Chains A and B, each alone.
Chain A
Amino acid sequence: MGENGAGKSTLMSILYGFYTADSGTIRVNGTQHAITDSRHALALGIGMVHQHFMLVDNFTVLENVVLGAEDSGLLKPSLDRARQELDRLEHEYDLEVDPDATIEDISVGQQQRVEILKALYRGAETLILDEPTGVLTPKEADDLFRVLRTLREQGKTVILITHKLREIMAITDSVSVMRQGEMVATLETAKTNPEEIAELMVGRRVLLRVEKGPANPGKTLLEVQDLVVTDDMGVARVKGVSFSVRSGEIIGIAGVSGNGQSELLESISGMRDQKAGVVILNGQPLSLEGDDGAARARAAGLAHVPEDRQRMGLVTTFAEWENAILGYQDSPEYGAGALLDIAAAKQAATHHIELFDVRPANINLKTSLFSGGNQQKIVLAREMERDPDVLVIGQPTRGVDIGAIEFIHKEIIKMRDEGKAILLVSVELDEIRSLADRILVMFDGVIVGEADPATATEGELGLMMAGINNKTAPRGLGIAEQGPLP
């Protein structure tokens, strides 16, 4: 457990032999080992499931499992043995996967199973999982946790790296907290609580619950009607979506990533042409076609915090002050004609840094050198300080540490209370539930349902995210049904 950049992944990569330690010792089963590479770690029974899967997309499941653990120079005997062994493992741990399926054709949850099978096939006794639920639906996460419990029962050691407090409470026996590269505490899960762990992680008391008053919705500021958007391959990803956002209200769009939310965001913000439908801002239809659609949307008062700050929100090789005016560089206060008023831009950047407490407070630093949370603050400051009528935000806290999450959430609520209309898209269900005043669930390009965050359970939302709109969701075991947030 630990914030981003606390050193969790680095520590585990050292255990797995991906990096080598400068000093210190590692003991496996009581004997000291200097783990020099991944092969060595595997031989010691340490297996790792990386956050970004280490799979070859156009290979079959079987080929991926065998890669690096082949028996001989020819493939066939290895593949045959792996097929039998996989069959046994799948039954033993209840991990069903089709061995002949190609990786790119199976779901993310299935791909993760392949990673686990890969480790087990190599005889792993200790399994390290790095942020395993980040890419999963609540249902898939439940399945994963069931598998992890089975592994524990079979005598395996499971190390779970996560920043989600609820997962720690739900499944672990003991928890170690890291902060700034140091292990600050090791606790028995049963004898601690989320507040204590969060405090240890951040080093100060953290409000886990977002404090917000009731919404006071006013007139409709953003209206989307029958929007159809296709992706680069011409496949429809948004299939006729309509909704409206009023002033003083946050609409949250929930859903498993890849169900059209990205295309919806890109279309409303003018980055992607729409196939059909209209976007109405303040009663005026917005013209978003063409390469300068995004600029026109901004000029009309629609600010956009894109999902992927490094790819779409910032030019990471540019200095902070350059990024602070990106997208608004043509506006009159930053210079007339072809010339840029650098002093004005730097002044704006300095102002943003103060307001949003960006660290380090250095406007000349390249943005790639800021942490994820501070990069996000730079983008948020730029968009929010323009005082837009409508703010469209994608994944506001992806890869952002707890301290910064708290800050960003407060800023979003503050904007709402100032009477702005906010459209929030996030794959973090917790975030949607705690920020949004109304939740729309997207599945396969359509909005399958609307929910009231005050009353909807995570189970109901999870079912909608899987495309099933059923108000009376059956209750079962697992974290998806564990009720309100900690």
Chain B
Amino acid sequence: MDFAIILSVLDATIRLSTPLLLACLAGMYSERAGVFDIGLEGKMLAAAFAAGAVAAITGSAWLGLLAGMIVSLGTTLLQGVAAISLKGNQLIAGVAINMLAAGMTTFLGQTWFHQGGRTPALGAGGRFEPITLPFANELAGVPILGPIYADLISGHYVLVYIAFIMVAVTAYVLFRTRFGLRLRAVGENPKAVDTAGISVNKLRYQAIIITGLLCGLAGAYFSIAQGSGFGNNMTAGKGYIALAALIFAKWKPVPAMFTCLLFGFLDALQIRLQSAQLFGVEVPVQAIQALPYVLTVVLLAGFIGKAVGPKAGGIPYTKER
């Protein structure tokens, strides 16, 4: 492979890992606070649809993004009421959100736009454009470093940069602030937080609000940045992969980034390898497309050792003994 191909695979890696990373960080807030979130997929899907629909109608990517975040937040709060206030089973609440999102997006899409569940293709302005960083064009001629800066680092959608900045922000919030300390404590031993005079449920709601907003960003990325308009089930299980990445990264921000990049890289490789030949035989496209998913199972099953999540994860908090 020559340098240009490597660069283009890495470039695709960054693009493909962005929604994973945003969803993974979203899940981190929720799960660190002791609320298991299997509903990342559903929230992203709902956000993708809302962003696509609003961007198509208004012609504004920013309004689309806002709509995506609002819908994702609403969905999260619905899940939160079930899982936190009403002390329902967190897994069931998440699964319900996933099913609701899958059904509602297709149904509303068909009712409103009559395109088989898809939203209309976006014109200029309805979709985020890649950002060219300062001096990218000027430096493109510099050997090695020039193309890396101009092709790999510059030229992405704004959401890509937000995602990577959020890694540092999340690490700072979780480990350097009062909010982070309490958030981590509530996921480990909510009773300790309660006896310290802090409301457990309020903290958990604060955590999932962040989860909702980040899922909104992730979802919008699918329909109004990477894609041009919403398509049926366009998140394609990425929410589950983000969840796997979260576990693989042991609920830590920087490892989460690298894990998401790894999954993104496999996805990029998969696209590049389609129609590749192995020992003179063409490898079926499906087999290659399945690679990232197979890797998810293999990594989770074999390579991480024992992943011990937040101890109070999955258990609604009740005062009664």
Residue of B at shortest CB range from A55?
B192
CB of A54 within 8 A of CB of B177, answer: no
A266 and B164 alpha carbons, distance in the complex (Å): 51
- Best-surrounded residue of A18, A37, A66, A68 (most CB of chain B within 10 A): A68
B194 touching A67, Cβ below 8 Å: no
* CB-CB contacts below 8 Å: B159-212 with A: 175-182, 184-185, 188-189, 191-198
Contact A37 B197 (CB under 8 A): yes
Residues in B neighbouring A66, C-beta threshold 8 A? 181
Q: Could you tell me if A18 and B319 are in contact, using CB atoms closer than 8 angstroms?
A: yes
Of residues 289 to 317 in B, which have CB atoms within 8 Å of A's CB atoms?
311
Q: Is A362 an interface residue (CB 8 A)?
A: no
Quick one: given A57-B189, A59-B185, are A16 and B195 in contact (CB under 8 Å)? yes
B188 A59 Cβ-Cβ under 8 A: yes
Residues of A within 8 A of B311 (CB): 57
The answer to whether A78 and B197 have CB atoms under 8 Å apart is no
- Does A129 belong to the interface (CB within 8 Å)? no
A54 touches B195 (CB 8 A): yes
Q: Which residues of B contact A (CB under 8 A)?
A: 175-182, 184-185, 188-189, 191-198, 311, 319
For the complex of A and B, the 10 pairs showing the least CB-CB separation, nearest first, are A68-B196, A39-B197, A54-B192, A38-B197, A70-B178, A54-B195, A56-B188, A56-B185, A56-B189, A73-B178
Category for how many chain A residues contact B: 20 to 34
Taking CB atoms, residues of chain A closer than 8 Å to B195 are 16, 18, 38, 48, 50, 54
With an 8 A cutoff between CB atoms, is A437 at the interface? Answer: no
Q: Name A57's closest neighbour in chain B (CB-CB).
A: B188
The 8 A CB mask of A41-64 against B (1 = contact, 0 = none) is 110000010100011111100011
Q: Which residues of A contact B194 (CB under 8 A)?
A: 18, 38
Who on chain B is nearest to A16 by CB?
Answer: B195
CA of A16 to CA of B319 in the docked complex: distance in angstroms? 14
Main secondary structure of the interface of B (DSSP, over half): helix
Q: Is A29 among interface residues, defined by CB-CB distance under 8 A?
A: no
Cα–Cα distance between A55 and B181 once the two chains are bound (Å)? 13
CB of A339, distance to nearest CB on chain B (Å): 35
Residues of B within 8 Å of A59, CB to CB, are 181, 184-185, 188
Instruction: Name the distance in Å between B289's Cβ and chain A's nearest Cβ.
Output: 39
> Among the listed B177, B179, B189, which residue makes an inter-chain contact with A55, where contact means beta carbons less than 8 Å apart?
B189
Further 5 A-B residue pairs, CB within 8 A, beyond A56-B192, A68-B193, A72-B178: A17-B197, A18-B195, A54-B191, A56-B185, A74-B177
Known: A19-B319, A56-B189. A68 touches B198 (CB 8 A): yes
User: Which chain B residues border A55 with CB–CB below 8 Å?
Assistant: 189, 192
When the two chains form their complex, are residues A73 and B192 in contact, meaning their CB atoms are under 8 A apart?
A: no
With A54-B195, A68-B182 as contacts: A76 and B176 at CB distance below 8 Å: yes
CB pair B178 A78 closer than 8 Å: yes
Q: Is B197 a contact of A75 with CB atoms below 8 Å?
A: no
Contacts of A454 in B (CB 8 A): none
A18 to B321, CA, bound (A): 12
The one of A16, A19, A67, A72 that contacts B182, using a Cβ cutoff of 8 Å: A67
Q: B175 contacts which chain A residues (CB < 8 A)?
A: 75
A64 to B191, CA, bound (A): 13
Tell me whether A152 is interfacial, beta carbon within 8 Å.
no
Q: Given contacts A66-B181, A73-B177, is CB(A54)–CB(B189) below 8 Å?
A: yes
Question: Which residues does chain B contribute within 8 Å of A75, judged by CB atoms?
Answer: 175-178, 180-181
Q: Is A166 an interface residue (CB 8 A)?
A: no
What distance in Å separates the Cβ of A40 from its nearest Cβ neighbour in chain B? 7
Q: Which residues of B contact A39 (CB under 8 A)?
A: 196-198
CB distance from B201 to the nearest CB of A (A): 13
Closest A residue by C-beta to B196? A68
A69 lies within 8 A of chain B by Cβ: yes
A97 to B189, CA, bound (A): 21
